[in-house]
Structure 1
Amino acid sequence: MTADDSLNRLDDDDYPAYTMGRAADMLNTTQGFLRALGDARLITPLRSAGGHRRYSR
């Protein structure tokens, strides 16, 4: 993958570019709220290779 490919992926609305903390900050909510939404299956965050939740736009 080239650097251009990586940058183009950031334009993809479905690309999981945001950590839980960043997504919570952007939405002006808490990480616990995002976890609760996931537990209720209202949203389905993807997981990084290390198992961390990742969010798309």
Structure 2
Amino acid sequence: MKIGELAAASGTTSKTIRFYEQSGVLPEPTRMPSGYRDCGPEFIERLTFVRAHRRPDCR
């Protein structure tokens, strides 16, 4: 799935996903021949986990 689809499915934004990738919280996804990210369902699980375990003062 593309980053916009991942953002909608996980309840976050594309900008947040890019930030998590750059900071190493999310692994670098594979890329389609067009250059778009190709994120699998494991990315939704990881984002759900990260969002559930953020510090309360960061929400």
Q: TM-score range by the shorter chain?
A: 0.5 to 0.7
Identify unmatched segments of 5+ residues in structure 2.
Answer: 42-59
Q: Which structure has the highest helix share of the two?
A: 2
Q: How many residues are matched?
A: 40
Cα distance in 2 for residues equivalent to 1:34 and 1:54: 13
Q: Which structure has the highest strand share of the two?
A: 1
Q: Relative contact order (C-alpha < 8 Å, sep 6+): which is higher?
A: 1
Cα distance in 2 for residues equivalent to 1:54 and 1:38: 13
What TM-score comes out, normalization by structure 2 length?
0.61
Question: Mean alpha-carbon deviation: is it higher for 41-50 or for 22-31?
Answer: 41-50
What TM-score comes out, normalization by structure 1 length?
0.63
Identify unmatched segments of 5+ residues in structure 1.
Answer: 1-17
Identity %: 22
Which structure has the larger Rg?
Answer: 1
Consecutive aligned runs of 4 or more in structure 1 exceeding 3 Å deviation: none
